[in-house]
Amino acid sequence: MTIQSLDRQTAFTTADGSTIRSILDRTNAPVAHQSLAEARLPAGGATQRHYHRLAEEIYFILEGAGLMEIDGETQAVRPGDGILIPPGAWHQIVADADGTGLRFLCCCAPPYSHEDTYFA
């Protein structure tokens, strides 16, 4: 059985600029096909627009509000929203400037890697 506690994970900055704490991935568990992380953006913060060739991502908004852009389509997001980001889709998430920032879960399959993150 593998159980990892979020509060025991060290935060780091991903290639796109978000701060994440990996909950389960190849670095801390015998994970083969996916990864799960908590991501944070400060108020007014944004990830750098990017895509992943291999990874399908799902974001689940826990706290805060912002705008999600996928392949040129933008929509407001808030707690309780699940967002599907297909492989190859350009995307960016921006936290509202007047809020407390965004906190969301990010599931990637296959597991997240810096090498699968591409920029313009």
| Superfamily of the domain at 6-116 | Jelly Rolls (2.60.120.10)
Q: Which residue, among 50, 70, 61, 49, has the nearest Cα to 96 in the 3D structure?
A: 61
Q: Could you tell me the pTM of the whole model? A: 0.94
118 and 50 Cβ atoms separated by less than 8 Å: yes
Domain regions of the chain by residue span = 6-116
Per-residue tens of pLDDT for the chain, all 120 residues: 999 999 999 999 988 889 999 999 999 999 999 999 999 999 999 999 999 999 999 999 999 999 999 999 999 999 999 999 999 999 999 999 998 999 999 999 999 988 999 998
